[in-house]
């Protein structure tokens, strides 16, 4: 741990991520809230989320190939640079307009979502490549803490900014955070071994291709796919949250911002505690415990009508979701070879996006026909089935040691 804390690249990576997440967090709080305040906003928001998820099914496998073929550092910087340029252009276009245009909100939602989804497989491959295996639990825990501190800050000030600034001014803040994160990622020491990586990812010549790994280890890949689905359910839950608060619990934007803060508190606790739990047990066991508590939190939210109790459950949901993420990232880095992790992670995320598309299509179509409480109960049943499968298969899947 001391060597990790004394490493320059640790601080640059953490700083770059937290600054980027603060800016994008503020925007991703603002856009959904502004969308659902419009006429038929819930359905517009739902179809926007559905369209974005469908697009990611195509983009994720393509990005996975780029991650495994080219410098992971350059891929990260490219993602941030595209976000910087597009957000700046929209901020200038929006200008001093007090009422943002619908097309502006939809474009921003798309830019933020694409950047968010492409960032994580690239970052995970980069982290696996530049850090020693023994540091995986600690660095994943640190990244979770920094990410949630960023979203906590974003949630705390997001409501204030929405009520006091124009959308274009909020976007300029987002643009500045993109620019600073690009600089910090650029300063991270990194040496890209082009020949070695390119030779490893030639699909037709190398017998150890990503697809062959999937075919040789189908149960392991299935476990990592299903253990990602709670995060996918969370993305669908993020679609439900502003509708649930605004329509079912009659809460305002300040409460919506507070949900991000309470969620982040639970996630920060997870980021601090999960690396120690992984050392005492295994990452796979921690994943399963995380899914259990996440399933429980969905059941509680589906049966809660009190705002303060809802906020308290958000802490448990934040902890369990972050626990799954930290432990899953650690296990993924332990079991998936670095030359394949970009593509395999992207294929898994693409499958999860298909699941998300189908679930969002159902909820968007029927959101006006049943309550959001009932929608959360549907999510609970899905999470319970995922938990049951992971519990049933866990002993037969991980019989081999992690890859060296």
Which residues are within 8 A (CB) of 389 and not within 5 positions of it... i.e. 6 or more apart?
A: 226
Q: What's the rounded mean pLDDT across residues 248-256?
A: 73
CATH number of 8-189+209-395: 1.20.1250.20
Domains of the chain, residue spans: 8-189+209-395
CA distance 29 to 14: 22
pLDDT at 160 > cutoff 90? no
Q: Closest by alpha carbon to 379, among 253, 262, 244, 259?
A: 244
Integer-rounded Cα radius of gyration of the chain: 20
CA gap 286, 353 in Å, rounded: 24
Pair 76, 123: CB distance under 8 Å: yes
Helices 253-280 and 136-164: angle between axes, nearest 10 degrees: 180
- Per-residue pLDDT tens over the stretch 345-356: 888 888 888 888
Dihedral, CA of residue 301, residue 264, residue 334 and residue 235, to nearest 10: 50
Q: First-to-last CA distance in the chain?
A: 20
* Number of neighbouring beta carbons within 10 Å of residue 163: 10
Tokens of 145: 């803490």
Quick one: pLDDT at residue 205?
A: 43
Q: What is the pLDDT of residue 397?
A: 62
Mean pLDDT for 11-16 is 89
* pLDDT of 403: 54
Q: Is 306 strand, coil or helix? A: coil
Reading the block at residue 372, the tokens are 């959001």
Mean pLDDT of 239-268: 78
**What whole-number distance in Å separates Cα of residue 107 and Cα of residue 130?**
34
């Amino acid at each position: 741990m001391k060597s990790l804390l004394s490493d320059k690249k640790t601080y640059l990576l953490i700083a770059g991520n937290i600054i980027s997440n603060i800016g994008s967090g503020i925007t991703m709080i603002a856009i959904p809230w502004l969308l659902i305040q419009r006429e038929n906003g819930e359905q517009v928001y739902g179809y926007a989320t559905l369209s974005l998820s469908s697009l990611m099914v195509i983009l994720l496998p393509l990005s996975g190939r780029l991650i495994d073929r080219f410098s992971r550092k350059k891929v990260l910087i490219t993602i941030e640079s595209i976000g910087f340029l597009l957000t700046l252009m929209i901020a200038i276009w929006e200008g001093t307009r007090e009422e943002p245009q619908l097309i502006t909100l939809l474009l921003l939602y798309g830019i933020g979502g694409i950047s968010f989804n492409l960032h994580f497989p690239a970052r995970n491959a980069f982290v696996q490549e530049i850090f020693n295996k023994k540091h995986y639990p600690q660095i994943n825990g640190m990244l979770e803490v920094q990410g949630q501190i960023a979203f906590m800050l974003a949630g705390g000030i997001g409501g204030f900014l929405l009520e006091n600034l124009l959308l274009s001014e909020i976007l300029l803040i987002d643009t500045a955070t993109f620019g600073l994160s690009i600089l910090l990622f650029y300063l991270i020491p990194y040496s890209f071994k082009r020949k070695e990586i390119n030779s490893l990812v030639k699909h037709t010549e190398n017998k150890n291709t990503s697809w062959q790994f999937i075919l040789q280890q189908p149960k392991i890949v299935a476990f990592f796919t299903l253990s990602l689905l709670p995060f996918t359910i969370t993305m669908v839950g993020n679609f439900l949250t502003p509708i649930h608060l605004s329509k079912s619990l009659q809460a305002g934007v300040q409460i919506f911002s507070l949900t991000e803060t309470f969620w982040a508190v639970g996630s920060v606790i997870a980021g601090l505690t999960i690396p120690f739990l992984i050392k005492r047990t295994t990452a796979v066991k921690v994943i399963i415990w995380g899914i259990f508590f996440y399933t429980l939190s969905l059941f509680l939210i589906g049966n809660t009508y009190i705002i303060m109790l809802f906020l308290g459950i958000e802490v448990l949901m934040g902890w369990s979701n972050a626990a799954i993420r930290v432990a899953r990232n650690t296990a993924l880095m332990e079991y998936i070879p670095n030359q394949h992790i970009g593509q395999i992670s992207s294929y898994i995320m693409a499958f999860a996006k298909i699941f998300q598309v189908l679930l969002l299509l159902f909820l968007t179509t029927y959101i006006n026909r049943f309550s959001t409480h009932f929608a959360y109960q549907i999510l609970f049943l899905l999470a319970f089935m995922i938990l049951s499968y992971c519990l049933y298969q866990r002993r037969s899947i991980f019989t081999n040691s992690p890859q060296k």
